Amino acid sequence: MLQVARLGPSVLGEEASQLIEAFIRSQQNPDGGFKDRDSTSDLYYTSFAIDALTALQADLPEDSIAAYLNGQFKKISELDFVHLCCLARASSALDSYRGHNRLTPVLNRLEEFRTADGGYNQISDHPTGSTYACFLAWGAYSDHGIPLPRQETLSDCLNSLASEDGAWSNDVEFPVPNAPSTAAAVAVYRNLRLAIPEKTTHWILSCYHPASGGFLAFPDAPMPDLLTTAVALHTLDALQAPLENLREGCLDFIDTLWNAKGGFHGNWSDDQLDVEYTYYGLLALGHLAL
């Protein structure tokens, strides 16, 4: 993802890329963390800020980020599943943390979210896993080059969430196939070297909304969004589907979400800018640059 996101600035141009970098840096709080939508430092947004700056090939403020992460490592027992994974991801970007043994308690905590069906769930003691949690857990380990324990059982969980049309739901509680879950499942399947259904490409393309140029989270969703568009393009590229016919439409859609302050909105009803969607804007543009 980061390799492709690095190509985003070639579409944006130098001036817009500088605006994005300035916006991302403006989102860092004095404690070294990056702002969520309430302007509070948050590991989730910090990990996206790191990825966005990396995509821009901009220098990371490593010392201030490390100071923030040091505080987060002191309260591992208080972090939920998603933020544990974000702590692993964020720390993998810093030389001082890469391969460090202090990651061990983070990964040990992640195993508390393992489910009986072989997957992971964001909720501890849950009987069944979710596609999103399996994807995040895989990333937390692989970002540090550590094999995920009993990784072969992830397929049991993900297979139970697959639909006959080649898509995936996130969990058994809301069994609606959607593009972000399908993208997450494809990423894990590819890493596990498992066969991906031939129907998957067609299903993702069915989420494309020609009138807007973006992708819908599921075929009947009310409007396209930037996250779905980015991960759909990323997955289609991984599946070697041609993107040329989507290029102009997607570029026009992404342009409607761009703000001259240097960030991207998540969708047409979103009036805030944040580093998460700004990263997804870079990722989507990177694929369109190809």
Could you read off the pLDDT of 93-149 as tens digits, one per residue?
Answer: 998 776 667 899 999 999 999 999 999 999 999 999 999 999 999 999 999 999 999
Contact of 56 with 288, CB cutoff 8 Å: no
What amino acid occupies position 185? A
For the chain, list residues with pLDDT below 70: 98-100
Q: Which helix (H) or strand (E) holds 238?
A: helix 226-238
282 belongs to a structural domain: yes
Which residue range is the domain that position 215 belongs to?
A: 2-110+196-289
Residue 147 lies in a domain: no
Residue 155 domain flag: no
pLDDT in the model for residue 100: 61
Does 178 fall in a domain?
no
Kindly state whether residue 135 falls inside one of the protein's structural domains.
Answer: no
Strands 208-209 and 214-215: antiparallel
pTM of the full structure: 0.96
Residue 27 in any domain: the answer is yes
224, part of any domain: yes
Give CA–CA dist 24/46, Å, rounded: 10
Number of structural domains (the chain) is 1
Distance between CA 142 and CA 65 in Å, rounded?
A: 21
Q: Give yes or no for a contact between 110 and 76, defined as CB atoms under 8 angstroms apart.
A: no
Dist. CA 197–CA 284, nearest whole Å: 24
Query: Residue 126 domain-assigned?
Result: no
pLDDT tens profile 165-174: 999 999 999 9
Q: Enumerate long-range contacts of 193-197, CB under 8 Å, 24 or more apart.
A: 194/155, 196/239, 197/162, 197/166
Report the alpha-carbon distance of residue 269 to residue 263 in Å, rounded. Answer: 15
Q: Are 232 and 183 in contact (CB under 8 A)?
A: yes
